Structure 1
């Protein structure tokens, strides 16, 4: 492999050595030729051609000024014309390169490689070759990233499916052991095992859902949604669970006023479910939950009196559920602002 790379580098080096002069060197060379060649041609012309009826002294005295004037005018015109042609061609090549780059920026896609002339290979062609190399590297990187993403999604899906079987077996053994006579400590251990199995199953579900979301396989159906009604329905579903845990629940949901967001109702309900579930898991010791719909600010405010997000909790896990909620909010052009300390956590959901 190293030998092949060395041969390629040597080949490229030889090609660079065979390259003609640079762009501006050619420009200076052509102008030098147009400045010095015409005078030499005219001197040679007048040296070998004689005009009948005009002696050498008259020619020198009468036509010397006109010859110099014509020569100077010819050189000036040639200089201007050559410069104009050179810079117009230069501008055209740079404009083509700029057009390809701007097309990529406007259409959010990789540009197509530009055509270059290997026999010329001046500074602009070298820039174009570097540009084409960059495009090729980006395309290869995107291809590898796509392949890795597909492999990761397939791996997560397979793991989520394969791990359900041993979890089901474990839960069956726990159920069987519950029917056996054992001490209070044994019952507590079984209850903890059963809780852990449930938690692992929920984490796998969250991971699988996140994979579906990020791969675009989870349908997103936005619609004009009554936020007050949606939050009221979600709170009604979770209220018995809060009561079971002896939570003090304060709800402020305006009955007459409301506002509408262009969101997916199922996604929005999933976000609220995740936030309520986090309160039950991580803020149970505070025994408090506040749900407010602020019509004036068009915001949903949920607060608790738990230990805060900075405190470590075994139940916290890797935060996949919160990642799912954040991703859904971003897709619905919403944002969640978290405020957390040792006295509790507050999250405000509003327009991004």
Structure 2
């Protein structure tokens, strides 16, 4: 950017003139009167002294006034720029461009012009990010929808083949194919839900939630599935005591569903699950005796369910502490 004028250079020029020009004029005037009155004996040196004192005082006052006006104007322009920056930080939004005088373009205007250019770059970047996010969400939604058709066709062929007389190895293969189709469908559902969740399609609605009651309802809904897998279910769910969290009941239910689903997917071989509602410490504990997260089977997928749970817990100002080893996994949900 070409600099046309310098603010501080103008400041130095003006002050140089006020400091050095009056004394130089005084010297010339004194010399002129001194030459024109060489023959006069009675020179009023006292008046000349008074003139010098007044001129010096005038220089000092003018210097102070000019300096004060200069820095006052400079402070106002910098305060305007600082106000725009601080207001955007307080409101958590992009700042608005500031006005710049193109015909002047001193150092402050150049700073404002650079600031406006930065804002424009940030807005363009945010616009591109928003468009890419919409494209990604649309792509995931379309893929989740389009892949259901071939999966449905595959399941239909598996059902038809089950009615045919085939060997035991063939039956086992068909069972594994059907199981894989179900797993892929569940992963697509998790991916679609996570995409909709992060895009605001499932808005967070905070309310005072009875956690003890909510956990009991979730355990009752999942109990038949645990029983079907022959998983021993132990739980400590107080009925007379409870605690409340400011949370979304639907989101909390979804978090528990993800935990219970992971137990059925990864830890069913442990044949044990323990669910505790700790009223005193206000936390939820879900533990199993599976192989652990590091040794889980291929059904672990990409961890979409865990990412979904962490996202919802963070929004509700909660957190999940996970401890996992070869003897099982323990998830503790509490306040962040």
Instruction: Name the TM-score, length of structure 1 as normaliser.
Output: 0.90
Distance in 1 of aligned mates of 2:202 and 2:132: 20
Change (3 A) 1:190 1:202: same
Distance in 1 of aligned mates of 2:224 and 2:194: 28
Which residue of structure 2 aligns with residue 259 of structure 1?
243
Report 1:158-237 matches (<5 A).
158-237=142-221
Secondary structure of 2:147 counterpart: helix
Which residue of structure 1 aligns with residue 86 of structure 2?
102
Distance in 2 of aligned mates of 1:63 and 1:57: 15
Instruction: Name the TM-score, length of structure 2 as normaliser.
Output: 0.94
Distance in 2 of aligned mates of 1:59 and 1:310: 106
Distance in 1 of aligned mates of 2:305 and 2:244: 25
Q: Indicate conservation of the 8 Å contact 2:276/2:284, yes or no.
A: yes
Change (3 A) 1:57 1:127: farther
Secondary structure of 2:24 counterpart: helix
Which residue of structure 1 aligns with residue 279 of structure 2?
295
Change (3 A) 1:223 1:62: closer
The superposition leaves residues 105-130 of structure 1 with CA deviations (integer Å, 9 ceiling, x where unpaired) of 11111111111122222222121111
**How much does 1:219 deviate?**
3.6
Q: Give the unaligned 5+ runs of structure 1.
A: 1-11
Q: Give the unaligned 5+ runs of structure 2.
A: none
**How much does 1:57 deviate?**
4.9
Aligned-residue CA RMSD (Å): 2.0
Report 1:55-204 matches (<5 A).
57-59=41-43, 61-204=45-188
Q: Indicate conservation of the 8 Å contact 2:266/2:296, yes or no.
A: no
**How much does 1:56 deviate?**
5.4
Change (3 A) 1:69 1:239: same
Secondary structure of 2:96 counterpart: coil
Secondary structure of 2:331 counterpart: strand
Change (3 A) 1:56 1:305: farther
2:291 aligned with 1:307 = yes
- Give the one of 34, 40, 64 matched to 2:24: 40
Matched residue count: 335
Distance in 2 of aligned mates of 1:312 and 1:244: 21
Change (3 A) 1:57 1:250: farther
Q: Indicate conservation of the 8 Å contact 2:230/2:271, yes or no.
A: yes
Secondary structure of 1:121 counterpart: coil
Change (3 A) 1:247 1:38: same
Secondary structure of 2:246 counterpart: strand
